[in-house]
Chain A
């Protein structure tokens, strides 16, 4: 039973916030996603669309409603104490690797304390072996790394150290929130190679959040496109990114500036204007205010996800 269930299953996930003087509003407004074992799902969208909030809900770092299942376990029913024993199964890496590492501790201490807080520390000897293995998996040399402080490494190396710390606990799911956005081009490539390598070697599932479509294409098997708290389009990465059906996906792709001088011709379906406030989302389809194909019907009802085969689903009345 356990092996057949997906690593992450999200059904109708909603995250609401309240601020003074306003009615509660949904930052994530009923989304469903599934990540099978060994699969990387890229979650893309503009700032404020709710992708980081989705990650925080998966990590149990915010209140949510709906259904989240990790390896079949219903996270709504998990007590605080059993959550502690489950946490090693799902790990997260953040955008800024330098602030994610304690500047006053050596790498050995940082790694060891990860084992200790999750009660996986048995002996120094065994810990050293595990740490060395994790460091090697991210392409870092244990001998020259362990006694150094974080400031002695570049941003890309620090991000690899964060990945090493995360995989030290043998997680089944790694959540990467804009994990390569702050990195320079040459070091970003190192980190992407490491993430792709982990997928191949240890069948790790990943929820990879990014606003950069080319980066998402590089690491993902499946892609979900998010807009103002809703999923517009989801499916195999190749299908979604080369045959987009939702106008928003098309607009995002039309905005990608490829480092090529002879640009492949761009479709003329850019978005108009900017994302409306999540405090007061449009009626019906949330994208309709910026959509070039919007019709009166789009304001009246919310489009349901429709299947186009092969797992490709689109929530639009007028898909391409």
Chain B
């Protein structure tokens, strides 16, 4: 959590600004994002739709679409490797091998025409040059590790023969097959039922601990972030507004957006029919020229400086960093 030398951090993102060329003009997706992830981190990135959290995960993997542009100063260093400027050949030895990703929909993440075993072996054969036979036995072990019963039978089945929860387990097995150092889960449990969701999150947690992986959990669900990560970043309109220990942010949020977000969530312990706080206005796309804090127009504590300047990171007494001209601390 402390700002150490670059080598201590597995992932070091500096001044990451990404904009898209669209028919409607330039659209800003990420704005001056600073983020570090150390080897034991479990970091959640929370935000509503359009906040840029998925673009951030794609940028880390260097799989942004062609109409995405990074500004010159942007830097994403993964264990000393420059993910922005390295040649594709070098990136291929990192993607799937050292950084793995799990997506929301396991059905589209899996190829419906190939068996579970074939898909599960692919990464290990490509990255480690394993024989078909060796990869198959490894794949069976992996299915066991992710809690799939009778893996010898499942390995020859096809995705449509498995339930949604099982498919997501297979996707996780694929992700961890090459023993990545960083696992990115992009809304990985959003499509699952609540009882299955907790099982999958518990699985990710235990794998992270046993395999010493760092985790970036991208979610819109504050409950998932609170229960399964140690650090958390709150994003709005492509900007990180608050980042730090999950506990500190939940107990004493300092940025108005974080406070509003926490107040807008109904809780089981609340009274029935309790009035919920809402955030006036609506999220909108931003142009690269809009240099201020993007939450300004919906913020109850906005000042004139907010419109034109995105505040530099400051540290709250409770430990988290924030970007706000008018924090509640």
Chain B contacts with A in 197-226, Cβ cutoff 8 A: 197-199, 201, 220-226
Q: Mark B224-236, 1 if CB is under 8 A from A, else 0.
A: 1111000000000
A183 → B minimal CB distance (Å) = 9
Q: Mark A148-169, 1 if CB is under 8 A from B, else 0.
A: 0000001011000000000000
Chain A CB count within 10 A is highest, among B49, B273, B276, B283, for: B273
Name the distance in Å between B161's Cβ and chain A's nearest Cβ: 12
- Per the 8 Å Cβ criterion, residues 186-203 of A in contact with B are 186-190, 192-193, 196, 199-200
Evaluate contact between B48 and A199: CB separation under 8 angstroms: no
B194 at the interface (CB under 8 A from A): yes
Neighbour of A154 across the interface among B260, B274, B282, CB < 8 A: B282
Complex contact B220–A257 (CB within 8 A): no
Asked if B195 and A214 make an inter-chain contact with CB atoms under 8 angstroms apart, the answer reads: no
Residue of B nearest to A184 (CB): B48
Q: Does A268 contact B (CB under 8 A)?
A: no
**Residues of A contacting B272 in the complex (Cβ-Cβ under 8 angstroms):** 217-221, 237-238
Residues of chain B contacted by A47 (CB below 8 angstroms): 193
Quote the shortest CB–CB distance from A185 to chain B (angstroms): 5
Asked if B198 and A259 make an inter-chain contact with CB atoms under 8 angstroms apart, the answer reads no
In contact, A260 and B261 (Cβ under 8 angstroms): no
Tell me which of A187, A217, A261, A274 contacts B268 (CB under 8 A).
A217
User: Are the C-beta atoms of B276 and A192 separated by less than 8 Å?
Assistant: yes
Chain B contributes a number of interface residues (CB within 8 A of A) equal to 45
Of A214, A219, A263, which contacts B265 at CB under 8 A? A214
A66-74, A103-111, A248-256, A300-308: which lies at the interface: A248-256
The reply to whether B265 and A259 form a contact with Cβ atoms under 8 Å apart is: yes
- Who on chain B is nearest to A197 by CB? B275
Interface residues on A, range: 35 or more
> What is the bound-complex CA distance between A207 and B241, given in angstroms?
38
Determine if A91 is an interface residue (Cβ-Cβ < 8 Å).
no
Assuming A185-B265, A259-B250, is B274 touching A218 (CB within 8 A)?
yes
Q: Complex formed: what's the CA distance from A214 to B221 in Å?
A: 13
| A219 and B282 within 8 A (CB) | no
Judged by a CB distance under 8 angstroms, whether A232 is at the interface is no
Question: Is residue B6 within 8 Å, beta carbon to beta carbon, of the partner chain?
Answer: no
A237 to B198, CA, bound (A): 23
A256 & B268 in contact (Cβ 8 Å cutoff): yes
B278 is an interface residue with CB less than 8 A from chain A? yes
Bound complex: CA A185 to CA B277 (Å): 10
Among A188, A219, A238, A271, contact of B195 (Cβ-Cβ < 8 Å): A271
When distances are taken between beta carbons in the complex, the residues of chain B under 8 Å from A46 are 193-195
- The one of A186, A254, A263 that contacts B279, using a Cβ cutoff of 8 Å: A186
List residues of A whose CB falls within 8 A of some B CB: 46-47, 154, 156-157, 184-190, 192-193, 196, 199-200, 211-215, 217-221, 237-238, 241, 251-261, 263-264, 270-271, 274-275
B residues in contact (CB < 8 Å) with A: 48-49, 163, 165-166, 193-199, 201, 220-227, 246-247, 250-251, 260-262, 264-270, 272-279, 282-283
Closest 9 CB pairs of A and B: A257-B223, A259-B222, A189-B276, A184-B48, A218-B266, A186-B279, A189-B264, A154-B282, A46-B193
Q: List 7 A-B contacts (CB under 8 A).
A: A186-B278, A188-B264, A189-B279, A193-B275, A211-B193, A213-B268, A214-B267
